[in-house]
Amino acid sequence: MNKLLVIAATLGLLSSASIAVQASPQQDLKEFRAYFADRFPDVPFKDYVNGVYAIDQASREQWESIEEFPPYELNIDKGKKLFNTPFKNGKTYASCFRNGGIGIKQDFPYYDSATGKVVTLESAINDCRTKNGEKPLKWKKGPIADISAYMAYTSRGNKINVKIPAEEGALAAYERGKAHFYAKRGQLNMSCADCHQWNAGNRIRADLLSPALGHPSHFPVYRSKWGGLGTLHRRYGGCNKQVRAKPYKAQSDEYKSLEYFHTYMSNGLELNGPGARK
């Protein structure tokens, strides 16, 4: 009898374990939103696009006055010029994108079933170049950030609309990004979530930690610390380094997957890039 009970208990455990399926992206999104709504009950959902300034009234005014004469304005102009300058074959970037590349940032990143890869806006910009016989640009700053800033600018006000199709490859990329976000790493043994979810609104040294919700809405970002514009993956690298972890390469599958998860969590928020930060 005893033995039978043990077996039954074991079976019971096993069957409940196999029933426990992975949470779907939709469920994750619901929980993620609920967490922030509960943590910051006074912050309206649409305000999360402003990063730390959504939760910090004190620094918000200073930031708003910076945004009146935005430091990234020249970058948008440069990006526009680059975007419209023909390649050697006479074509332009417009030929590679839906709607000539105007107002389309909300579609990125997306999963491409044909290649089994996540496509980010920056990877699409470089794909466009190589397809047209041009050399790819460097990933983290410079011309690619300028072009990305211009494309982001033409998409301002559009709502982030990342899709996770019910396909093995798309779900795998999403899960990889989610795992990166919640995995502890580096000598400090901290995850993205440790700082930007569980401790959002708390201080780490001199910095107030921003909520992860809304993070991707305003990239690329002009940072005074960088003295220029940088892409989201440049920031990922910096945040990996903060915990003394080795950063991944910009546009590696790891960071593309992270961007896929991270941006999906911000679905429905308005794009307001490029942005300015400390």
Look at residues 93, 130, 127, 111 and name the one whose alpha carbon lies nearest to residue 174. 111
Signed CA dihedral, 74, 75, 80, 86: sign only: positive
Contact characters 258-277, ligand HEC, x per CB under 6 A: x---x--------------x
How many residues line the site for ligand HEC (CB under 6 A)?
22
Q: Given the rule CB under 6 A, which of 38-46, 76-84, 120-128, 234-242 is the region that contacts ligand HEC?
A: 234-242
- Least separation in angstroms between CB 180 and ligand HEC: 6
CB 196 within 8 A of CB 203: no
Please give the single-letter amino acid code of residue 107. Answer: D
Please name the residues in contact with 232: beta carbons below 8 A apart, sequence gap of 6 or more: 215, 216, 219, 220, 259
Please name the residues in contact with 195: beta carbons below 8 A apart, sequence gap of 6 or more: 204, 209, 239
Q: Given the rule CB under 6 A, which of 70-78, 110-118, 128-136, 231-239 is the region that contacts ligand HEC?
A: 231-239
CB 127 within 8 A of CB 133: no
C-alpha to C-alpha distance for 91 and 210, rounded to whole angstroms:
41
* Cis omega (within 30 of 0) for bond into 109: yes
Rounded to whole angstroms, what are the CA distances from 110 to 136, 156, 237? 20, 19, 21
Q: Given the rule CB under 6 A, which of 37-45, 62-70, 148-156, 237-245 is the region that contacts ligand HEC?
A: 237-245
250 binds ligand HEC (CB under 6 A): no
Contact characters 82-121, ligand HEC, x per CB under 6 A: ----------------------------------------
Binding to ligand HEC (CB under 6 A) within 128-187 occurs at: none
CB 109 within 8 A of CB 194: no
- Least separation in angstroms between CB 241 and ligand HEC: 10
Among 82, 119, 243, 276, binds ligand HEC (CB under 6 A): 243
CB 186 within 8 A of CB 269: no
Among 189, 204, 241, 244, binds ligand HEC (CB under 6 A): 204
Q: Indicate the residue among 25 and 274 with the shorter CB distance to ligand HEC.
A: 274
Signed CA dihedral, 113, 117, 119, 122: sign only: negative
242 binds ligand HEC (CB under 6 A): yes
- Least separation in angstroms between CB 163 and ligand HEC: 21
Among 125, 128, 162, 209, binds ligand HEC (CB under 6 A): 209
55 binds ligand HEC (CB under 6 A): no
Among 152, 190, 213, 250, binds ligand HEC (CB under 6 A): 190
Footprint on this chain of ligand HEC (rule: CB under 6 A): 51-52, 190, 192, 194-196, 204, 207, 209-210, 215, 221, 235-236, 239-240, 242-243, 258, 262, 277
